[in-house]
A and B are shown apart, each in its own frame.
Chain A
Amino acid sequence: MSFRLDQYSQPLLEAVLGSLREGIIVIDRQTEVVLYNQAAVDVFNLSPVMTGPLRLIDITRNKAIHDGFQQVLREGRPFDTNLEIFGIQERTFSFRATPLLMPSAHEVVGAIGVFFDVTQLVRLERVRREFFANLSHELRTPLTSILAYVETLLNGALYDQENNLQFLRIINKHAMRMQNLVRDIADLSAIEAGEFKLDPVTIELKGFVDNLAVLVAPEAAARQVTFRNEVTPGVYVQADPQALEQILMNLIINAVKFNRPGGEVVVTAGFEGDTRTIIAVRDTGVGIEAKHLPRIFERLYRVDKSRSQEVGGTGLGLAIVKHLVLNHGGDISVDSTPGVGSEFRIRLPRPPLPS
Chain B
Amino acid sequence: MDTLVLDAPLQDLRDKVLLLGGQAEDALSRALGALIRRNSPLAEQVIHNDDTIDSVEVEIDELCASLLMRAAELGPADVRFVIGVLRTTPMIERIADHAVNIAHHALRLNDEPEFKLYIALPHMATLVQALLTAALDALTQSDTAKARQTIRRDNEVDLLYRRMFAELTASMTRDPSTVTRAAELLFVIKHLERIADYATNICEQVVYLVEGRSIKHTPDAWQHPD
Chain A contact residues, CB within 8 Å of chain B: 30-31, 47, 49-53, 55-58, 60-63, 66, 86-88, 90
Q: A50-B141, A63-B26, A87-B25 are in contact. Are A57 and B15 (CB under 8 A)?
A: yes
Contact present for A61 and B136 (CB under 8 Å): yes
Q: Is B29 part of the binding interface, using a Cβ–Cβ cutoff of 8 Å?
A: yes
- Contact present for B15 and A55 (CB under 8 Å): yes
The answer to whether B191 has its CB under 8 Å from any CB of chain A is no
A58-B140, A61-B140, A87-B25 known; A66-B33 Cβ under 8 A: no
Residues of B within 8 A of A87 (CB): 25, 29, 129, 133
Q: How far is the CA of A88 from the CA of B3 in the complex (A)?
A: 27
Q: Which residues 13-53 of B have a CB within 8 angstroms of A? A: 14-15, 18-19, 21-23, 25-26, 29-30, 33
CB atoms of B3 and A86 under 8 A apart:
no
- Number of A-B residue pairs having CB atoms within 8 Å of each other in the complex: 55
Q: Which residues of B contact A47 (CB under 8 A)?
A: 137, 141
Q: Which residue of A lies closest to B36 (CB)?
A: A291
In chain B, what residue has the closest Cβ to A54? B3
Q: How far is the CA of A146 from the CA of B133 in the complex (A)?
A: 57
Q: Residue of A at shortest CB range from B15?
A: A57
Kindly provide the distance from the CB of B15 to the nearest chain A CB, expressed in whole angstroms.
5
> Does chain A have a CB within 8 A of B1?
yes
Residue contact B1 to A49, C-beta cutoff 8 Å: yes
Q: Which of A55, A61, A88 contacts B22 (CB 8 A)?
A: A61
Interfacial chain B residues near A31, Cβ < 8 Å: 15
Contact call B33/A63, Cβ cutoff below 8 A: no
Check if A61 sits within 8 Å of B141, measured CB to CB. Answer: no
Interface: B180 (CB within 8 A): no
Given A49-B141, A50-B141, decide whether A61 and B25 contact each other with a Cβ distance below 8 A: yes
10 contacts between A and B (CB under 8 A): A30-B11, A58-B140, A58-B141, A61-B18, A61-B22, A61-B23, A61-B140, A63-B26, A87-B133, A88-B130
Distance in angstroms between the alpha carbons of A62 and B130 in the assembled complex: 16
Q: Tell me how far the C-beta of A83 lies from the nearest C-beta in chain B, rounded to whole angstroms.
A: 11
The answer to the question of B126 belonging to the interface, with a C-beta cut-off of 8 Å to chain A, is yes
Kindly report which residue of chain B lies nearest to residue A64, judged by CB atoms: B26
**Given known contacts A53-B3, A88-B130, is B26 in contact with A62 (CB within 8 Å)?**
yes
A52 proximity list for chain B (CB < 8 A): 3
Complex Cα distance, B126 from A23, in Å, reads 26
B29's contact among A49, A66, A86, by CB below 8 Å, is which?
A86
Contacts of A60 in B (CB 8 A): 22
Nearest chain A CB to B10's CB is how many angstroms away? 12
Residues on B with C-beta less than 8 A from A86 are 26, 29-30, 33
* CB-based closest 3 A-B pairs: A61-B22, A86-B29, A52-B3
Contact, CB under 8 Å: B19 / A66: yes
The answer to whether B21 touches A61, judged by C-beta atoms less than 8 angstroms apart, is: yes
Select which of A49, A51, A90 is within 8 A of B33 by beta carbon.
Answer: A90
One digit per residue, 1 when the CB lies within 8 angstroms of any chain A CB and 0 when it does not, for chain B 127-160 equals 0011001001100110100000000000000000
Which residues in A have their C-beta under 8 angstroms from that of B19? 57, 61, 63, 66
Please, which residues of chain B bring their CB within 8 A of the CB of A53? 3
Please state if B1 and A51 are interface contacts (CB–CB under 8 Å). yes
Measured between beta carbons, the chain B residues less than 8 angstroms from A55 are: 11, 15
Query: A58 CA to B18 CA in the complex, in Å?
Result: 9
B29 touches A57 (CB 8 A): no
A90 neighbours in B (Cβ, 8 Å): 29, 33
Chain B: CB-nearest residue to A60: B22
- Neighbouring A residues of B33 by C-beta, 8 Å: 86, 90
Q: How far is the CA of A86 from the CA of B125 in the complex (A)?
A: 13
